[in-house]
Structure 1
Amino acid sequence: MTPAAAQRFVVLDSFRGLCALSVVLFHLHIWQSVGEWRFFRSAGLLVEFFFVLSGFVMAHRYYQRSMNGAGFGDFMISRSCRILPLHFATLLLMTALVFLRPVLFAEFTVEDLPDLFWSEGVRTQWVYNALLLQGWLPDANLFSFNGPSWSISVEYYIYIAFGLIVLWANRHSTAVFAGLVALCSLTTLLANTQIANSPGLRGLTCFFLGATIYALHLRIRQLHLARHWATLLEAATLLALYFMVAMKYPHKSYWATWGFAAAILIFAGERGQISAWLKHKPFLKLGQWSFSIYLVHFILLYIVNVLFAHYYPAWLKQVGQVRYIDSGSIALNNALLLLIVAGVLLCARWSFRWIEQPGMRLGKYWQSRRTRPALILAGAKI
């Protein structure tokens, strides 16, 4: 790996962690809490940021590098061992919770349980989730088990497409990425709403836009910008991001994707004071745990809602299609929010250590086992 490819964008890692935490608040409905602020009510849009950033980081790692068949194999081992262990762990845990709930709380009779556990619909959705197909198939329920994993299903197959493009196009990959962005953009702007908002198209547009702008990053990273001007630019970018996420406008997902791409270009330089603050340990830890925060939080929120439904039903209130938790006290509601967020962070810390890191070590071990040293005979390499 070249020194450039070995560089880590720690500020962007911190952003990933903050965005993951914002998605937690997006899914957490506690009445009159900070989670109900306008920005967090639209924070589901930040999934687009994850896609764009993933494309940018993948392009950074493989920019101007040739990939052969063995390299593609190593790439897929690396990506699979990075995301599949936590995906399968959370899927199995969520499956157990969904099936145990009616047993523990006697919501169904014994005669009803076989239909609940083995109905065709449940089996089909579970297989979609296990194979990471729920983000691609029109009859799949995105939130049938661990809801946020729909974006992982989209990203995993985009990784395969990315690897194949690098394998076949080699040093012309950026041109292919740009062509895909143009094609996806036309489809988004001209197709009907169902197609334009489909998870797969959103993921493709975002990811390959991120991969495309990496070449632009290489061109502008040497530009000199005084620290105070860089700080001002970063502050203006954060303000623009706030309004971009919070406001309503046509094709919001698509246009926000370009805003996220611009923000990534600006903060990849890490030149301003805001970037310096985002290099502090708490933000770096959030970035390190971001994948676990994203996949684990939905399970914890499911448990919280089930417990409230059975033990504190008076604290639940239905407003339209949203069910809120409301203790009757604004202070207590916000304290409960902080407690749940702390629980998510604790679980994320644990899953990063015991699931993600062993998975990454497995990937490196698997790659090392695939490596075969060249046979050297009489001073000649064969």
Structure 2
Amino acid sequence: MNQGFPIPAGRQIHLPWLDGLRGIAAMWVLASHVQILSGMRDIPVLSWGGIAVDLFMLLSGFLMAHNYFLRRRAEPWDEPRTFFMFWLRRFFRIAPLYYLLLIVAIGMGAMLAEDRSSIAAIWPSTMTPLHRYLDGSVGNYLAHLSFAFGFLPDYAFRTALPDWSIGLEMQFYLVFPFLMLAFSRFGAFRASVAALAICALAWLLLPTYFQRFEMPSLIFMKLFVFMAGMWVAIARQEGPMTRSMFSAVGIIVLWALMQRHMQAGEPHLMSLFRLLMVVGMFYLMNNGTLPGSGLSGRVVREMRKLLSGRVARFLGDTSYCVYLLHLLILLPVAGALARYEAYVALPSPVRFLICLALVMPPVYLVSWVLFRTVETYGIQFGRSVVRLFSRPAVTAPGARRANT
């Protein structure tokens, strides 16, 4: 087995500036939905909630690979038991809070559909199919409880939660150990190209199936973003980061070109922004080997400091819950506001700010409470379950929950 990814001595386990990045991604998604539901026209970057979700995917790809590298001695990549332990950890990180909010979302479905209709009555272009809120079928329940909904076009976008990306995340967890094994045995570049080829082939062979998805909730559509994050982790293991950065950029560009042949591509400006986001991630994680490191070093240090502070830590801790929860609070608030003529008559930026100011405090307050209770205890319970299946192993000191 190729041992091409050594762990340098003193490798950092927790990278605190990633807390701030997660917090920014969650706030970005929230603000993009406020923009839509307050009837404000699209504004570049602010309205790109999908790119904010890509930032989550980029971070997820990095963190999964980063932690896999750290555990590889205790949990060798070619052992099935390693796969099982990885899946257990990720399930208990995601599932407890998700199941709770899924129950709440289904219970609120009729009310949220009414609020959504009130908003669409004023701004028709914002309308989404109401079956997203009203599907109480057993099939919908089972699809979401099993996390299989991401593979099923009829259920992939069928709750009030923005959980299409949660199903996508779970699909990534499913394939991730196999990807790492392929990276180790065949080399990261060849394995990445092969994975992209499989994604493209699936899309070409099943175009009707892919077209039925309202959101890109299938792993074949977004694996390239996760892999770009994995390349950042690979770069940190290898030492020199330049070659890995160009490999990740190549993955993004190659997929963008292929996607334009498989379906209508996204606007060029969004594709460029995603590419810059990947490059920015490399420089934020720079170990001094990227081009221009001397010139960018001070900026990178200041960014890391800004993204590692108390506020950033709070935003990072609450990010998962904020992402899942915010529509359950935003829709009733935006629906109530849309029923007031005086509010509707205001300039759209003012409407946006009013709605955002009313929504953010309860979203972050409830998210903090749920983080300290459901989310934290779910993770602790998951660790207890993992220990039942674990053999004694020496773990690196100082590991923190935030980056697991």
1:163 CA displacement = 2.1
Can you give the 5+ residue segments of structure 1 that lack an aligned partner in the other structure? 104-115, 224-247, 318-325, 375-382
The counterpart of 2:90, out of the listed 75, 79, 92, is: 79
Q: Secondary structure at the match of 1:135?
A: helix
Q: Secondary structure at the match of 1:266?
A: helix
| Cα shift readout 1:324-360 (whole Å, capped 9, x = no counterpart) | xx66796575244223112211121111111110111
CA distances 1:141-176 after superposition (whole Å, capped 9, x unpaired): 51x213311101011021011123446775657356
* Residue in 2 that maps onto 1:379: none
1:178 partnered with 2:178: no
2:155 alignment partner, one of 95, 118, 140 = 140
Change (3 A) 1:153 1:372: same
C-alpha displacement at 1:126, in angstroms? 3.2
Which of these residues, 34, 44, 50, is aligned with residue 38 of structure 1? 44
SS of residue matched to 1:39: coil
Q: Which residue in 1 is equivalent to 2:57?
A: 51
* 1:259-310 Cα shifts (integer Å, max 9, x gaps): 332221111238432222222211121112111111111111123245446x
Higher mean C-alpha deviation, range 120-129 or range 261-270: 120-129
Q: CA deviation at 1:371?
A: 2.9
Cα deviation, 1:207-226, whole Å, max 9, x if unaligned, reads: 12321342223345689xxx
Structure 2 residue runs without a partner (length 5+)? 1-6, 115-130, 243-264, 287-296, 394-404
For the 8 Å contact 2:62–2:232, the answer to whether it is kept is: yes
Sort the Cα spacing of 1:73 and 1:124 in 2 relative to 1 into closer, same or farther, 3 A.
same
User: Is 2:314 the partner of 1:285?
Assistant: yes
Residue 160 of structure 1 corresponds to 174
Distance in structure 1 (CA, Å) of the matches to 2:113 and 2:51: 33
Q: Give the alignment partner of residue 212 of structure 1, picking from 201, 215, 231.
A: 231
Distance in 2 (alpha carbons) for counterparts of 1:373 and 1:208 = 31
- Give the deviation of 1:21 after TM superposition: 0.2
CA distance in 1, matches of 2:348, 2:164: 35
In 1, Cα distance between the equivalents of 2:66 and 2:104? 34
**How many angstroms apart in 2 are the aligned matches of 1:179 and 1:346?**
44
Residue of 295, 299, 321 corresponding to 2:328:
299
- Structure 2 counterpart of 1:135, one-letter code: G
Q: How much does 1:14 deviate?
A: 0.9
1:150 correspondence with 2:164: yes
Is the counterpart of residue 15 in structure 1 residue 21 in structure 2? yes
CA RMSD of aligned residues (A): 4.0
Residues 169 and 12 of structure 1: is their aligned pair in 2 closer, same or farther, counting only changes over 3 Å? closer
Provide TM-score, normalisation by structure 1: 0.71
C-alpha deviation, 1:95, in angstroms: 0.7
CA shift in 2, pair 1:31/1:98, >3 Å? closer
Distance in 2 (CA, whole Å) between partners of 1:293 and 1:299 is 10
What amino acid is the match of 1:96?
Answer: G
Counterpart of 1:239 in structure 2 is none
Secondary structure of residue in 2 paired with 1:279? coil
Find the aligned partners of 1:135 and 1:182 in 2 and give their Cα distance: 19
- Range with bigger deviation, 358-367 or 268-277: 268-277
CA distance in 2, matches of 1:187, 1:176: 16
Distance 2:156 2:343 in 1: 25
- Deviation of 1:124 after TM superposition, in Å, equals 2.9
Change (3 A) 1:163 1:16: same
The structure 1 residue matched to 2:362, chosen from 343, 358, 370, is 343
The structure 2 residue matched to 1:199, chosen from 199, 212, 217, is 217
Distance 1:371 1:301 in 2: 42
Larger radius of gyration: 1
* Counterpart residue type for residue 284 of structure 2: F
Percent identical residues: 22
What pairs with 1:260-271 in structure 2 (closer than 5 Å)?
A: 260-269=277-286, 271=300
Q: How many aligned positions are there?
A: 326
